[in-house]
Amino acid sequence: MMMKYRLRILPGLLGLLFILLTAYGCSGSTGAGGTKTPRPSLAESVEMTLTANGFTSSENKAAEATAIPPSSCGLALPGDQGWPVRLCDSFNDNTGGWTVESQDNPYAKYSIDVKNGAYSLDYTAKSFAAYQRSSLTWFDVASAQDFALSVTGRINSDFQNCSWGAAFRADDDSFFLFSIYNDNTYAFEIYENGGWVPLITRRPYDQLKLGQANKLVILAEGGDFTFYINDNLVNSFSGGLLQESGIKLVASAKEGVSASYTFDDVVLQVKP
């Protein structure tokens, strides 16, 4: 029988979700635990229970500003030239008002800051459930239903059990999540009604660059979503029914896993 855990979500500009792996043990780094094995898809192996508090975060200040003229962005636009640019950030400084903080809680120890031209996260998931679960942390980007989002991310870790990506159409109880894992795979899932459902099952992509920066683009219009990695179309999905508007950067790691993440060159266009 599967045990269900009810877990508290932290307040502030970011939330911490704690994920229960149902059928798999922990795989380690080559140095610590021998051969590394890919972790299974979250949708196939995870059950998450949210508290009533849900998302308790506010939005990035830059994304609430007046639309930016496309010509002044300086980065490639992920969407139609006619869509207003709401956010264009290369993290040369923190004028965008991104979350900067350190936390050391029972589930993870991490520090996030804008430094060296990137939004940098040093992250260690602690042992809190006999190495059977993962922590998932998100950082608010903006609010929009129909949008084009581009972000470049990188994972530096000896472990495969970590990932980064973007959640969207998010509210207290549900969201879509597109993730890139540290074994050159990707997946697209929905969290809804207290559980995960795979929409695009986890699969390898040979154009992902392990240990290097990878560019993710998400186009969302109505119920249709299109996904690009490193400027190549990798997949699409039709029939998304969530109606909320939260957009978030996401990092995840299994218990005992340490990883450094960088996010850079974030561009958000919103469909007029």
Query: Can you give the pLDDT of all 272 residues of the chain as single tens digits?
Result: 333 333 333 333 344 454 443 333 333 332 222 222 233 333 333 333 222 222 224 345 445 557 888 888 999 999 999 999 999 999 999 999 999 999 998 888 999 999 999 999 999 999 988 888 888 899 999 999 999 999 999 999 999 999 999 999 998 789 999 999 999 999 999 989 888 899 999 999 999 999 999 999 999 999 999 999 999 999 999 999 999 999 999 999 999 999 999 999 999 999 99
10 burial type by CB count under 10 A (0-12 exposed, 13-18 middle, 19+ buried): middle
The radius of gyration of the chain's CA atoms, rounded to the nearest angstrom, is 17
Structure tokens at 12: 């502030």
Q: Which amino acid is at 87?
A: L
95 Cβ neighbours under 8 A, 6+ residues apart:
62
Sheet with 14-21, strands from edge to edge, namely 46-47, 14-21, 133-143, 246-254, 162-170, 175-181, 185-192, 195-204
Beta bridge partners of 98: none
> Which of these, 113, 130, 134, 144, lies nearest to 261 by C-alpha position?
113
Q: Which two tokens stand for residue 237?
A: 């999905």
Angle at 73 between CA 231 and CA 88, to 5 degrees: 75
Can you read off the two tokens belonging to residue 183?
């074994």
CA 33 – CA 187 distance, rounded (Å): 25
d(CA 71, CA 81): 10
Contact 48, 189 (CB under 8 A): no
Token pair recorded at residue 167: 């959640």
Q: What is the Cα–Cα distance from 114 to 99, expressed in whole angstroms? A: 9
Which pair of tokens denotes residue 28? 């380690």
Give the model's pLDDT for residue 181.
97
CA 166 to chain centre: 4
Q: Is the CB of residue 194 less than 8 Å from the CB of residue 52?
A: no
Q: Is the pTM of this model over 0.85?
A: no
- pLDDT at position 72: 87
| Closest listed residue to residue 251, CA positions, set 158, 174, 177, 150 | 177
Report helix, strand and coil shares of the chain as percent, to nearest 5.
Answer: 5, 50, 45
Residue 128, amino acid: F
What local confidence, expressed as pLDDT, does residue 64 receive?
55
Q: Where are the beta strands (DSSP E) in 144-231?
A: 147-156, 162-170, 175-181, 185-192, 195-204, 214-221, 224-229
- The whole-number pLDDT of residue 165 equals 97
